[in-house]
Amino acid sequence: SGQSEYNLRSPICCIMGHVDTGKTKLLDCIRGTNVQEGEAGGITQQIGATYFPAENIRERTKELKPDANLNVPGLLVIDTPGHESFTNLRSRGSGLCDVAILVVDIMHGLERQTIESLNLLKMRNTNFVIALNKVDRLYGWKVCHNASIVKAMKQQSKDVQFEFRTRLTQVITEFKEQGINTELYYKNKDMGKGTFSIVPTSAISAEGIPDLLLLLVQWTAKTMSERLTYSNIVQCTVLEVKVVEGHGTTIDVILVNGVLHEGDSIVVCGMHGPIVTSIRALLTPFPMKELRVKGSYEHHREIKASQGIKINAQGLEHAIAGTSLYIVGPDDDVEDIKEAAMED
């Protein structure tokens, strides 16, 4: 809807961090969903994707900045698991994103997979913001639902403010030990030039959520316009291969650039060689819904990047997650594309 008025595609934002820091809960808070409580053991075990249209972000940030000019169609957020056994999924997620949110539990500071995630981001030179989550757990926290963090902090007692500053200082020190300069986002004059921004948040009472969203979309649109300029060349990665009742074997993909159409000939890397097939159905969850959660889907004739998409096609059973999906254009030699697909 109205995406053609934009030259920029939606930024892809990966949310990363140690297990149970609140990554999925933060997304639930923004979506108004309850994905986290439906997870086995409360642990994320797959990569997820959720599309947030600009109008929803505008609504959520209007207290902080009414009618913010967002310049991007929306934000595509990729949820990753924090459990130590899913390093490959964190790596896949971080490899796809334009920007990241690194979530740190204010009560725990930097933990093992926080540092692992940080190293993945450093390796790829990916910019990120830090969500210093669970501020509502500071002793005596007064809830200010969906308030900006500055406003919420002003409402707190001297004791809460003191505990906050102490824990914040500790976290800043721990980042420094990892060679990373950090600062509260509204004090950070050096953002994108070596000092990373910290946004205190609560995924339960939503303080700091407007700040986090506004910072992400405005900053990416401002500083990454070249990277985010829409291109017709299809760039698409397979996230998961799964059987969906009523849809057979499907693949969940992230379309980073270009357009996919129903009926397009595609090639994906398979366990027993390249899979050449054609798109039978292009499905997305509704906006603000999680791709990895069973639900109803919207059917599309075509979809423009960036999006998380479920593709239904024949012969996908042996497709390999983490590889690229290729389109066979009218002038393409399918043998060349089969070769490229298997090189992934």
Restricting to residues 35-54, name those near Mg ion by CB under 5 A: 44
Q: Does 23 bind Mg ion (CB under 5 A)?
A: yes
Per CB under 6 A, the segment of 92-100, 201-209, 213-221, 257-265 that binds ligand GTP is 201-209
CA–CA distance, 162 with 268 (Å, rounded to integer):
54
Residue 41 backbone class (left: φ over 0; alpha: ψ -120 to 50; beta: rest): left
C-alpha closest to that of 183 among 214, 218, 215:
215
Q: Does 58 bind ligand GTP (CB under 6 A)?
A: no
Binding Na ion (rule: CB under 5 A), the pick from 8, 13, 16, 20 is 20
Q: Does 33 bind Mg ion (CB under 5 A)?
A: no
Per CB under 6 A, the segment of 63-71, 197-205, 229-237, 295-303 that binds ligand GTP is 197-205
83 binds, among Mg ion, Na ion, ligand GTP, none (CB under 5 to 8 A by kind): ligand GTP
Sign of the CA dihedral running 96, 102, 103, 107: positive
CA-CA distances (angstroms) from residue 293 to 46, 93, 145, 320? 10, 17, 27, 20
Q: What's the closest the beta carbon of residue 262 comes to Na ion, in angstroms? A: 36
Q: What's the closest the beta carbon of residue 111 comes to Na ion, in angstroms? A: 13
Q: What's the closest the beta carbon of residue 82 comes to ligand GTP, in angstroms? A: 3
Q: Does 44 bind ligand GTP (CB under 6 A)?
A: yes
Q: Does 237 bind ligand GTP (CB under 6 A)?
A: no
**Partner residues linked to 145 by β-bridges:** none
Q: Does 188 bind Mg ion (CB under 5 A)?
A: no
Residues 147-166 as x/- pattern, contact with ligand GTP by CB under 6 A: --------------------
The neighbour count for residue 185, using CB atoms within 10 Å, is: 23
Identify the three-state secondary structure at position 90.
helix
Q: Does 200 bind ligand GTP (CB under 6 A)?
A: no
CA–CA distance, 35 with 71 (Å, rounded to integer):
29
Sign of the CA dihedral running 198, 204, 206, 207: negative
Q: What's the closest the beta carbon of residue 75 comes to ligand GTP, in angstroms? A: 18
Q: What's the closest the beta carbon of residue 22 comes to Na ion, in angstroms? A: 8
Q: Which residue has 């130590």 as its token pair?
A: 84
C-alpha closest to that of 290 among 98, 59, 79:
79
202 binds, among Mg ion, Na ion, ligand GTP, none (CB under 5 to 8 A by kind): ligand GTP
Q: Tell me if 284 sits within 8 A of 303, measured CB to CB.
A: yes
Q: Which is nearer to Mg ion, 16 or 206 (CB)?
A: 16
Q: Tell me if 111 sits within 8 A of 18, measured CB to CB.
A: yes
What residues line the site for Na ion (CB under 5 A)? Answer: 20, 42-43
What residues line the site for ligand GTP (CB under 6 A)? Answer: 17, 19-25, 36, 42-44, 81-83, 133-134, 136-137, 202-204
What residues line the site for Mg ion (CB under 5 A)? Answer: 23-24, 44
